[in-house]
A and B are shown apart, each in its own frame.
Chain A
Amino acid sequence: MNKSMYAQLKSNITGYMFILPALLLFLVFLVYPAFEAVRISFYQVSLNVSRFAGFGNFIALASDGTFRIAFINTFKYVLVIVPLTVAFSIFVAVRISEMNGKLTALYRGIFYLPHITSAVTISLIWSWIYNPVIGIANYLLTWIGLPAQAWLSSPDTAFQSVAFVILTASVGQPIILYTAALGGISREFYEAAEIDGAGKWRKFASVTWPLVKSTTLYILVITTISVFQIFVYIQILTKGGPTNSTTTIIYELYLMAFTNHNYGYASAMGVVLFLVVGIVSYFQFKMVTNAET
Chain B
Amino acid sequence: MKFRTGDFLLHTLVAVCAVVWLFPFYWALVSSFKTEQQMFQIPPIWFPLDPTLFNYTDLIQRTNVVLWTFNSFFVSLAVTFLVCLIGCLAGYAFAKIGFKGREVVFYAMIATMMLPKYVLLVPLFRLMKEFGWFDTYVGLILPEAASALPFAVFLMRQFMYTIPSELFDAARVDGCTEFGIFARIVTALTKPALAALAIFTFVRAWNDYMWQLIIVNSDRMKTLPLGIAGLQLENVVVYGRVMAGTMLSALPMILVFVAFQKYFTRGITLGAVKG
Q: A residues near B, CB below 8 A?
A: 8, 11-16, 18-19, 21-23, 25-26, 28-34, 36-37, 40, 88, 92, 95-99, 101, 104-105, 107-122, 124-126, 128-129, 134, 136, 139, 168, 173, 176-177, 179-181, 183-184, 186, 188, 200, 214-215, 217-218, 221-222, 225, 228-229, 231, 249-250, 253-254, 257-258, 263, 266-267, 269-270, 273-274, 277-278, 281, 292-293
CB distance from A163 to the nearest CB of B (A): 14
Residues A22 and B22 in contact, CB atoms below 8 Å apart = no
Contact of A168 among B21, B42, B146 (CB under 8 A): B21
CB distance from A150 to the nearest CB of B (A): 18
Alpha-carbon gap, A23 to B86, bound state (A): 10
Residues A121 and B146 in contact, CB atoms below 8 Å apart = no
Residues A11 and B118 in contact, CB atoms below 8 Å apart = no
Q: Which residues of chain B (120-156) have a CB below 8 Å from chain A?
A: 120-124, 127, 142-143, 145-147, 149-151, 153-155
Task: Flag whether B57 is at the interface (Cβ < 8 A).
Answer: no
Output the nearest chain A residue to B14 by Cβ-Cβ distance.
A95
Residues A110 and B22 in contact, CB atoms below 8 Å apart = yes
Task: List A contacts of B161 (CB < 8 A).
Answer: 214, 292-293
Contact of B149 among A26, A97, A225, A273 (CB under 8 A): A26
Task: Flag whether B93 is at the interface (Cβ < 8 A).
Answer: yes
Q: What 1/0 flags go to B234-274 for Cβ under 8 Å of A?
A: 00010100110010011001100110010011111111001
Q: Which residues of chain B (12-29) have a CB below 8 Å from chain A?
A: 14, 17-18, 20-22, 24-25, 27-28
A95-B14, A107-B14, A183-B265 known; A173 and B200 CB under 8 Å?
Answer: yes
Task: List A contacts of B81 (CB < 8 A).
Answer: none
Contact of A18 among B92, B150, B225, B271 (CB under 8 A): B92
Task: List A contacts of B203 (CB < 8 A).
Answer: 115-116
Task: List A contacts of B146 (CB < 8 A).
Answer: 25-26, 28-30
Which has the most chain B C-beta neighbours within 10 Å: A23, A129, A176, A293? A176
Residues A98 and B1 in contact, CB atoms below 8 Å apart = yes
Output the nearest chain B residue to A25 by Cβ-Cβ distance.
B146
Task: List A contacts of B274 (CB < 8 A).
Answer: 186, 188
Residues A126 and B114 in contact, CB atoms below 8 Å apart = no
Residues A253 and B119 in contact, CB atoms below 8 Å apart = yes
Contact of B151 among A96, A179, A222, A270 (CB under 8 A): A222
4 closest pairs, A vs B, by CB? A15-B99, A29-B146, A18-B93, A36-B123
CB distance from A220 to the nearest CB of B (A): 11
Task: List A contacts of B98 (CB < 8 A).
Answer: 8, 11, 15
Residues B25 and A114 in contact, CB atoms below 8 Å apart = yes
Contact of A124 among B17, B192, B237, B271 (CB under 8 A): B237
Residues B253 and A22 in contact, CB atoms below 8 Å apart = no
A214-B161, A253-B116, A263-B122 known; A184 and B268 CB under 8 Å?
Answer: yes
Residues B114 and A277 in contact, CB atoms below 8 Å apart = yes
A30-B146, A183-B265, A254-B118 known; A14 and B109 CB under 8 Å?
Answer: no
Task: Flag whether B199 is at the interface (Cβ < 8 A).
Answer: yes
Q: Give me 13 A-to-B residue pairs in the complex whose CB atoms sit less than 8 angstroms apart, sorted by A's number.
A: A12-B100, A31-B108, A34-B120, A37-B119, A95-B10, A109-B258, A113-B25, A134-B42, A168-B24, A176-B264, A186-B271, A228-B114, A270-B119
16 additional contacts, CB 8 Å, given A19-B93, A117-B28, A218-B158? A15-B93, A18-B89, A18-B182, A19-B94, A101-B265, A113-B21, A125-B24, A136-B44, A177-B155, A183-B267, A186-B269, A214-B158, A222-B151, A225-B114, A270-B115, A270-B116
